[in-house]
Amino acid sequence: MTHAEAWTGSRFRRKGPFSASGSPEAAASTGSLQHLSGSLGREAGGPTPRGAQMPVQPPSKDTEEMEAEGDSAAEMNGEEEESEEERSGSQTESEEESSEMDDEGYERRRSECVSEMLDLEKQFSELKEKLFRERLSQLRVRLEEVGAERAPEYTEPLGGLQRSLKIRIQVAGIYKGFCLDVIRNKYECELQGAKQHLESEKLLLYDTLHGELQERIQRLEEDRQSLDISSEWWDDKLHARGSSKTWGSLPPSKRKKAPLVSGPYIVYMLQEIDILEDWTAIKKARAAVSPQKRKSDGP
């Protein structure tokens, strides 16, 4: 193994195998070194069969130079490793210091944020209290305006209510007038109907009473006429006899016997008073029948 291969192998051990994501410069340097070592081997002995051992040749100047370069590269690699270790140590120390500084900064920032939050909460509570007082004062002022009937929130609806009240009063007055007219007309109709009914009843009663009175007057006239005739006839008979005794006062033995006649004759077996009563009844019957004939003949 040459110094170049040893150097590349040590570098591979430090950095690990190269991948697609590795450094292209390192891959190129590694490939060039392998190509250089292969070319040197071919120039020295040509192609060697598989499994055969290459003959040992004395080192030439080129190989010595390459070995010297490899030693210098190994020294440089060691220095790089030491510098990397120093850098890693300083980085860890700086990270520890930065972590300590970050914790302190976090605490300080946290305390600052807490104090700011407390200040903000205090300001918010003060503003809220101030806003509450202002709203309360505004509500009290509005309440006083409403009590004094000066608030627009009260006066505008009040005006609308007053206008609607006036309109309703007017409508109620008109409705009242119509209702009074209807009641008055109904009263007049009922009064007129009552008057007409009274007049008709009065006329009917007058006609009934007039007919009854006329009938009574007629009956009385007929009775009077019949009584006058009978009384005249009776008076004439009594005066014609003079001072003789009445027929009823004479005894039966002294009464005048009825003459006996022959041939057809009518025998009045009734007394004179019975005959007068029959004659009066006949005249009353004729008087009662005569008005009915007049009514039937009249229409």
pLDDT, tens digit (0-9, with 9 covering 90-100), for 77-90: 666 666 677 777 66
Distance (Å, whole) CA 260 – CA 247 = 20
Distance (Å, whole) CA 184 – CA 122 = 81
SS3 content of the chain, % helix, strand, coil (to 5): 80, 0, 20
CA dihedral 34, 36, 39, 44 (to 10 degrees): -110
- Which residues, in sequence order, are CB contacts of 280 under 8 Å at separation 6+? 223, 226, 227, 230
pTM of the model: 0.32
User: 């003060």: which residue's tokens?
Assistant: 126
* Domain locations in the chain as residue ranges: 1-44+60-84, 96-150, 171-239
pLDDT 10s digits, 119-136: 999 999 999 999 999 999
pLDDT 10s digits, 186-213: 999 999 999 999 999 999 999 999 999 8
Q: So what's the pLDDT on residue 119?
A: 92
Q: So what's the pLDDT on residue 221?
A: 83
